[in-house]
Structure formats: structure tokens, C-alpha cells
A and B are shown apart, each in its own frame.
Chain A
């Protein structure tokens, strides 16, 4: 019982990190799957989502409205980035990587100029706790988990079950044939970038009250998000969750009894093992 009381909150913390990480990783996967773009500015889109909430709440906007506005604002930024940058570099993957890397730096510096180099915070919408089976846990984190899980499921359902999603999958599988059937492949790609950006923005908005918001926060999520994708096996939406569970779970739990540096190294080792296991399984099948 005592072990349960100490472990349950840690596991819940890990789960909330996993779900947020999965949102970030899913955005990356959507963008990579549809556009072949490795978006190194994804962490900064996440950061913009967090700042949107900080700013909006500062202006007196209710917290939950700010959480709704953040993915819209970041999606709009994503749209601009797609039109002004990504579209012009179509079919030049290496240039796109460099361009998004440059964009990441620009966005970080813009955030430093606009909001200062220090960290900002935003109050949780509620300080209530929920008590269950002897443990009490912050209500906001439970709400965060519910929303993240819901959005993950909805995004997957969008791709798996709707006509729009079917066309997007067709554009991934065979863009020429999809176009010949009447799919506006370029528009589908632009929409996927907006969706991916919006997912990152939502993730940033949701974590704004529980981590410190600063111009460099994106990188801390980008690396585990990429590791999650690799560990989960590339571009399948289900794999993203599995990968996020491995990487985010390890990251979050190990941090409790190791120094950050050691736990990062262990997370990397776990990622390497997971990637190699997947490769071995793929080679075997």
C-alpha cells in the first residue's frame, strides 16, 4: 500500500508526460508522413503554444479559452511557414531540414526579444486535487491527460475513418495516383502542416501551467519526440503512442532517482535498444 501511494502519482506524472509527448510526436509524424519534411522547428511551435497561453491569460482571457486559441494561433503560424518556406523547398529534403532548423533559431530569438530570456509561468486553472484510493492528485493534470488522450484519438480517427483522412493517406501512399483521382495533393500537404503545428501548439498550451515557459523549452520536447518516433517505428500513428510510452515513461520515471544527465543517457540507451529491436523484428518478418 505504501509503495502504491508513492508510485501512483509518479506513474500518473509519467503518463501525462507521455500523452503530451505523443501529441508533439504525432504532429511531427503527420508532417513527415504527408510532406516528407523533418520539421526541426516543431519544438518552437510547441513553445509558441505555451507563450500564447501565457500572453492570453495575461490579457485576461480565461485559461481554457486560451488553450483553444493556442492551436489556432500556432496553426496559423504553421500555415504561414508552409506557404512562405516549406512549399518553396518542395522535393528538396535537405534544404527543408536546414530551413526548419534556421526557423527554429529565428523563433527562439524572436521569443527572447518579445518575452525576454527568462522563464514565465501561468497559473493553473484550478488548484483542486482529486482524491482516489488514498492518493490525491492535481485535478488539472487529470484534465490535461483527458484532453491529450481525446485529441490523440480524434486525430487518429480523422486519418483512419474520414474521407479527408483517406485522401491524406492516399496522398502519402501514391501522390500521383491520388492527384489523378482528384485529390489536391498540395492542399492536403499544407493542411497537414497546419494540423501538425496545431497539435504542437496544443501540447505547449496544455503544459504551460505545469512547466516553466521559456524561449528554449522546445528543444527539450523535440529530442524525446524524435526518439519516440524512432522507437515506435516511423510513421504509424499507433507506433507514436508506443514510442512515446517508452521514451516519455523512461524519461519521466528515471528522473526521480537519477541525476538528469544520467537519466538522459539511460533514455538514449533505451531508445537505441528499442530501435534495434524494431529493426531486428522488421528484418525477421
Chain B
């Protein structure tokens, strides 16, 4: 569904991504693991159009989307849950969800509140007053309101207690099963990746250094030892 070829990008003179090649297959969860500062967030920002790439190509369903503006990519079906969530803290939960409709208009699909029952009760609350776990659910729900075809998640489990991480895993498994959303999941949480990802790639020094089927990843596997230094 998404093909990344020889992608290079960085900030000013310093290159962060040095030729990334990655395929994300339709209807799967593809995970990306990598140590801090390897460029995972940089890759996400390039994919969603917030950071211009220096060279390379990105193709979505055989169309080049290499230099598309973010709002156009959103309308093409990409949705993004950034690291740190970036919810609109001073807006209500409802307003945050409504913003998810910017890409396609219409109404909030009813299944959103099936997937995130707690958000139904929190609609009138200011998003900034939600707990970290609730904010992460809101960020995820806001992305799904757009009914995207490709969901890009940057470390959704960061800073959450294990039960919340499990809840995120439940939602991911469910949306992939129900709606055939494709998910690109950047994570450091190995347990979450093993549970949901069909394929896992490793980002090391700005290139994809290897890949594995998700369920083969045990903490003892040589890939993990080598690329994450656990």
C-alpha cells in the first residue's frame, strides 16, 4: 500500500534519514523499532508531509505522494497520532474529535464511541484535563474519526501504564480486523509490537537495518539484542 524508496531527510545540514526503504502492506500492522534519536519521528513527519524530504519517493497505492501538503495527505486517507499526542488541550473532547473530520467532513462515525466508550462521557471536558491515558485514546480516536486508510502512530504507549498499553493494543487489533485500516506503528514497547504487528522493521542510523515477522520477536532474539541493545 505504501512504498518508501531511498528516502533521505533531515534538519538543515544534518541528515537523519539516509535512504530508508520500507513497504507497508495493506491491512496489516507494520511496526518500526529503533533506539532514541534514530529518526523514527522524523520518518513519521516526512510521511505525513510536515517535513520535506531531501530525496527519495513515497508511493501510496501506486500514486506518488512525495511532496504533497499535509492537509492533502489527510484527505488522501493518512492519519497521524504524533508522539506526545498533540491534542488541543484548551478545546473540548468533542471539538478535538470534530477536528478529526477536517479531512473529509460529515459526522463522527458512531463506532468511535463503541471503540472508546469513555470518550462519550468526557465529550464536554477540556482535553487538557484528561489523564495521559485518556488523552492518548482521544488522539487515537481523533485520527480514526477521519476513517483513514493508513494510520501512523508514533509511540502511542509512551508514558502509559501497562493496562492502558493493553487497551491500545486491543483497539489496534480491532480496527485492523473491522475496518481494514493499515497501521504503521512506531514503538519502543516490545510487548505491544509482538502482540499487534505482523511485520517489524528496525531503524538504525537512518536506514532500515532488518525486519522480522512480529511474533518471532522475543526479547532474546539476536535482532533485538543487536538493534535495540536490550
Contact = CB atoms under 8 A, between A and B. Distances in A.
A179 B99 contact: no
Contact of A182 (B71, B86, B90, B95): B71
B75 interface: yes
B71 to A, nearest CB: 5
B50 A176 contact: yes
Nearest to B73: A180
B98 interface: yes
Contacts of B215: none
A169 to B, nearest CB: 7
Given A166-B98, A173-B90, A181 B50 contact: no
A178 B80 CA distance: 11
Among A178, A180, A184: residue with most chain B CB under 10 A: A180
A23 interface: no
Interface stretch (B10-18, B100-108, B189-197, B202-210): B100-108
Contacts of B186: none
Contacts of B227: none
B91 A179 contact: no
A139 interface: no
Contacts of B33: none
Contacts of B91: 166, 169-170, 173
Interface residues of B, number: 26
B48 interface: yes
Given A166-B95, A166-B98, A176-B50, A182 B74 contact: yes
A182 B48 contact: no
Interface in A143-172: 163, 166-167, 169-170
Given A167-B102, A178-B99, A185 B88 contact: no
B142 interface: yes
B52 to A, nearest CB: 13
A179 B88 contact: no
A174 interface: yes
Among A166, A170, A177, A182: residue with most chain B CB under 10 A: A182
A173 to B, nearest CB: 5
B211 interface: no
Interface string A170-203: 1001101111111111000000000000000000
B103 A182 contact: yes
B95 A181 contact: no
A183 B73 CA distance: 11
A163 B99 CA distance: 8
Given A166-B95, A170-B91, A174-B88, A181 B103 contact: yes
A181 B146 contact: yes
Contacts of A185: 71
Contacts of B73: 180
Contact of B82 (A170, A180, A184): A180
15 contacts: A167-B99, A170-B88, A173-B90, A173-B91, A177-B82, A178-B99, A179-B71, A180-B80, A181-B74, A181-B79, A181-B100, A181-B142, A182-B74, A182-B75, A182-B102
Interface of A: 163, 166-167, 169-170, 173-174, 176-185
Interface of B: 48-50, 69-71, 73-75, 79-80, 82, 86, 88, 90-91, 95, 98-104, 142, 146
